[in-house]
């Protein structure tokens, strides 16, 4: 990697980290009900992004090679952010009203940071050969989030999202645990497909890069 490329990567990682460090606490603290805001998957996944890119920024600053764990977290963050963006845009965006600064933090957490994480992967991240077993590891966080949310709801009746609420009908809930199970299986499928596509695209790009010198040699011959 050239010095200019690493410098741009450092600045972009720092930008993502700074936006997260500002947006996450503001969105929680300025919420009418911070205790509810902090339970959202959007907040948790953006915290993962913020921590991951903060650590990556420091690693780039000291010229330290990024660890396998850090690369794993970046890929996990990309998958979670794509789910955050798509789920909010197509399902949840009409369900909440924001005022003041939270209008901006809502945009950064649901749209800007997810798009920046995607751009980072497209432009700056080295493509690597990941095992399909990685999908199982990437699923741990969302599955735990769903399970803990359900268990908590059984005790206090609170569910962070309507599609996790088995006790009420749409739009407050989905009516039964069977319907919640269908939703969770569906979301697990979505995460799995995104993980599969991420690994597949990495492999395709690596194969293309590997074949380029061969095809060039054939043309010369």
**Closest to 121 in 3D by CA, of 27, 21, 194:** 194
Q: What is the mean pLDDT of residues 196-204?
A: 95
Residue 213, pLDDT > 60, answer no
Per the CB < 8 A criterion, the answer to whether 123 and 169 are in contact is no
Q: How confident is the model at residue 212 (pLDDT cuts 50, 70, 90)?
A: low
Backbone φ and ψ of 100, nearest 5°: 60, -140
Q: Which residues contact 133 (CB under 8 A, 6 or more apart)?
A: none
Percentage of the chain lying above the pLDDT 90 cut: 79
Length reported for the chain: 221
Average pLDDT, the chain: 91
Average pLDDT value for residue range 90-110: 89
Rg value, the chain, Cα: 20
Cβ-contact 110, 96 below 8 angstroms: no
pLDDT tens-place string over residues 127-165: 888 999 999 999 999 999 999 999 999 999 999 999 999
DSSP class of residue 159 equals -
């Amino acid at each position: 990697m050239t010095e200019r490329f690493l410098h741009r990567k450092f600045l972009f990682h720092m930008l993502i980290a700074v936006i997260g460090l500002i947006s996450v606490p503001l969105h929680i603290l300025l919420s009418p009900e911070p205790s509810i805001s902090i339970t959202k998957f959007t907040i948790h996944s953006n915290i993962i992004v913020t921590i991951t890119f903060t650590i990556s920024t420091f690693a780039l600053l000291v010229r330290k090679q990024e660890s396998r764990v850090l690369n794993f977290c970046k890929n996990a963050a990309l998958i979670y952010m794509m789910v955050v963006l798509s789920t909010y845009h197509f399902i949840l965006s009409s369900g909440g009203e924001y005022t003041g600064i939270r209008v901006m933090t809502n945009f950064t957490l649901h749209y800007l940071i997810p798009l920046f994480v995607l751009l980072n992967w497209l432009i700056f991240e080295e493509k690597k050969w990941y095992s399909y077993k990685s999908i199982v590891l990437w699923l741990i966080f969302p599955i735990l989030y769903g399970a803990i949310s359900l268990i908590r709801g059984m005790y206090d009746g609170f569910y962070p999202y309507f599609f996790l609420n088995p006790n009420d009908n749409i739009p407050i809930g989905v009516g039964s645990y069977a319907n919640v199970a269908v939703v969770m299986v569906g979301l697990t499928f979505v995460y799995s497909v995104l993980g599969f596509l991420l690994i597949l695209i990495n492999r395709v790009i690596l194969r293309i890069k590997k074949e380029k010198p061969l095809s060039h040699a054939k043309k010369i011959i």
